[in-house]
């Protein structure tokens, strides 16, 4: 007897654009709305058929709490359909999809609209706590005397903003920022600057070559409030002429002395969103739609926050334990490129029997990430990493790649800030 199937029926994503550039005018809601509406339009599905909308978003805008609900309503999903937002850091977009899958398996519903959205252009600047307290005092001031004395409390330092983007990228438990955790892995696994830069170059080369192929996943964004009509379809993180020379010239940004992680071999700060339509077998048959593929297994796993980049290895091992699917079974692998050092460390750890024994509690190594099936169309180093959207993007890209290669199985995996990993196994539908 086979487990009930969960089908990924259609999907769309925005182009991924560097923060502060082409998509800076569209916020996380607008990006999410665009992909949600596009998925509905692509399938011709009556939105009333949807049982629930689930979106992942890491930096939820303060003016759109439970952003999934806002996106759903604005995309034309009826008010009677509930919606909620999930947060598993960089795996948020993936979490939305696996939660939908689990709900279908539980029999809670048949049709889910799920995805992720992130507008890193819109991460706010914050006031410090002490400044906030002074503002509160001032707001309570009634008499002129109180107001003046309230105003006099302020010091120039109170107006120095705290950059929420930097706060979000710093692990509050181990105190390292994400780039520093990548430096830890580079030291642990002796990953050279050259290897990291070569990996980054490959990401750009592949992404540049795959523009037409990636365009199949992309729905344009039409930012509002522009003077002239504008349609954004171009992914501007990809450098068509990226070279080793250019990469080599960059200075390490996280550890100035002897560091190896640079802006060039790290993922980019990016805006983007992706959404998928997920259905049970029953709903699929009723809809008459042709699925892109199905989810056969998924797992999340924890690891050391200071080595969060190794998360994929832990998650893959866990998925294998529950499903029996081995790294070697994958014909397509999408692993998020948070940092070149981090992906290369995963590759080394997966091939290490010692690591398997000491860290994963198993007697053999996980296996290989063969170059020719891993991140065939480039990854986040070239395309960018809109944190909440990436997980959904990886699944969509892997599904399209299964179709293009007429392959059977794909593995999607990413590391998660805070010390986690997530992995999803996809299968094509014959």
Of 74 and 403, the one with the shorter C-beta distance to other proteins is 74
Q: Which residues contact 12 (CB under 8 A, 6 or more apart)?
A: 35, 38, 39, 42, 217, 218, 219, 274, 275, 396
- Binding other proteins by CB under 8 A: which of 12, 26, 38, 395? 38
Tokens encoding 2: 């086979």
- Binding other proteins by CB under 8 A: which of 12, 45, 299, 398? 45
- Nearest distance from C-beta of residue 173 to other proteins, angstroms: 40
- Binding other proteins by CB under 8 A: which of 146, 233, 243, 248? 233
Burial (CB < 10 A; 0-12, 13-18, 19+), residue 44, is: exposed
Which residues on adjacent β-strands are paired with residue 409? 427
Within residues 57-96, the interface with other proteins by CB under 8 A covers: 74-76
- Nearest distance from C-beta of residue 44 to other proteins, angstroms: 3
Within residues 210-229, the interface with other proteins by CB under 8 A covers: 220, 222, 224-226, 228-229
Within residues 100-139, the interface with other proteins by CB under 8 A covers: none
Sign of the torsion angle spanned by Cα atoms 134, 137, 142, 143: negative
| Binding-residue pattern over the window 314 to 353 for other proteins, x denoting contact by CB under 8 A | ----------------------------------------
- Nearest distance from C-beta of residue 296 to other proteins, angstroms: 28
- Binding other proteins by CB under 8 A: which of 143, 231, 354, 372? 231
Q: Which of 12, 33, 14 is nearest to 23 (CA)?
A: 14
Of 233 and 248, the one with the shorter C-beta distance to other proteins is 233
Of 130 and 230, the one with the shorter C-beta distance to other proteins is 230
Q: Quick one: which segment of 32-40, 266-274, 359-367, 374-382 binds other proteins (CB under 8 A)?
A: 32-40
Report whether 308 contacts 417 (CB < 8 A).
Answer: yes
Of 217 and 334, the one with the shorter C-beta distance to other proteins is 217
Q: Give the count of residues interacting with other proteins (CB under 8 A).
A: 23
Q: Quick one: which segment of 36-44, 161-169, 196-204, 236-244 binds other proteins (CB under 8 A)?
A: 36-44
Of 221 and 261, the one with the shorter C-beta distance to other proteins is 221
- The reply to whether 168 sits near other proteins by the rule CB under 8 A is no
> How do beta strands 111-119 and 83-86 pair?
unpaired
Of 229 and 324, the one with the shorter C-beta distance to other proteins is 229
Kindly list the catalytic residues.
90, 385, 415
Q: Which residues bind other proteins (CB under 8 A)?
A: 33, 37-38, 40-46, 74-76, 220, 222, 224-226, 228-231, 233
């Amino acid at each position: 007897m086979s487990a009930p199937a969960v089908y990924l029926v259609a999907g769309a994503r925005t182009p991924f654009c560097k923060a502060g550039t082409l998509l800076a005018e569209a916020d996380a809601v607008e990006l999410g709305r665009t992909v949600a509406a596009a998925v509905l339009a692509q399938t011709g599905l009556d939105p009333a058929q949807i049982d629930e909308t689930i979106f992942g978003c890491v930096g939820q805008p303060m003016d759109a709490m439970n952003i999934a609900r806002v996106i759903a309503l604005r995309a034309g999903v009826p008010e009677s359909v509930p919606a909620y937002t999930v947060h598993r850091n960089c795996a948020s977009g993936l979490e939305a999809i696996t939660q939908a899958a689990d709900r279908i398996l539980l029999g809670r519903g048949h049709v889910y609209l799920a995805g992720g959205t992130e507008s890193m252009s819109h991460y706010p600047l914050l006031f410090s706590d002490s400044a906030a307290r002074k503002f509160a005092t001032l707001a309570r001031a009634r008499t002129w005397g109180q107001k003046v004395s309230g105003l006099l409390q302020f010091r120039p330092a109170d107006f120095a903003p705290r950059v929420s983007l930097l706060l979000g990228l710093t692990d509050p438990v181990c105190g390292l920022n994400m780039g520093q955790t990548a430096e830890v892995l580079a030291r642990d696994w002796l990953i050279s600057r050259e290897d990291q830069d070569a990996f980054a170059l490959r990401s750009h080369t592949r992404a540049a070559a795959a523009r037409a192929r990636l365009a199949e996943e992309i729905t344009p964004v039409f930012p509002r409030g522009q003077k002239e009509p504008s349609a954004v379809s171009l992914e501007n993180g990809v450098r068509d002429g990226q070279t080793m020379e250019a990469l080599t010239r960059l200075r390490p940004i996280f550890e100035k002395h002897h560091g190896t992680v640079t802006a060039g071999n790290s993922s980019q700060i990016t805006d983007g969103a992706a959404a998928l339509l997920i259905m049970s077998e029953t709903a699929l048959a009723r809809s008459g739609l042709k699925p892109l593929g199905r989810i056969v297994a998924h797992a999340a796993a924890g690891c050391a926050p200071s080595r969060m980049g190794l998360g994929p290895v832990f998650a893959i091992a866990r998925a294998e334990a529950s499903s029996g699917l081995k790294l070697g079974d994958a014909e397509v692998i999408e692993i998020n490129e948070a940092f070149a050092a981090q992906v290369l460390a995963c590759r080394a750890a997966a091939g290490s029997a010692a690591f398997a024994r000491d860290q994963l509690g198993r007697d053999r190594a996980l296996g290989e990430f063969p170059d020719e099936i891993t991140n065939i169309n480039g990854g986040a180093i070239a395309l960018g990493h809109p944190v909440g959207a990436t997980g959904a993007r990886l699944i969509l890209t892997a599904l399209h790649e299964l179709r293009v290669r007429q392959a059977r199985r794909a593995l999607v995996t990413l590391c998660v800030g805070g010390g986690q990993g997530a992995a999803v196994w996809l299968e094509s539908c014959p």
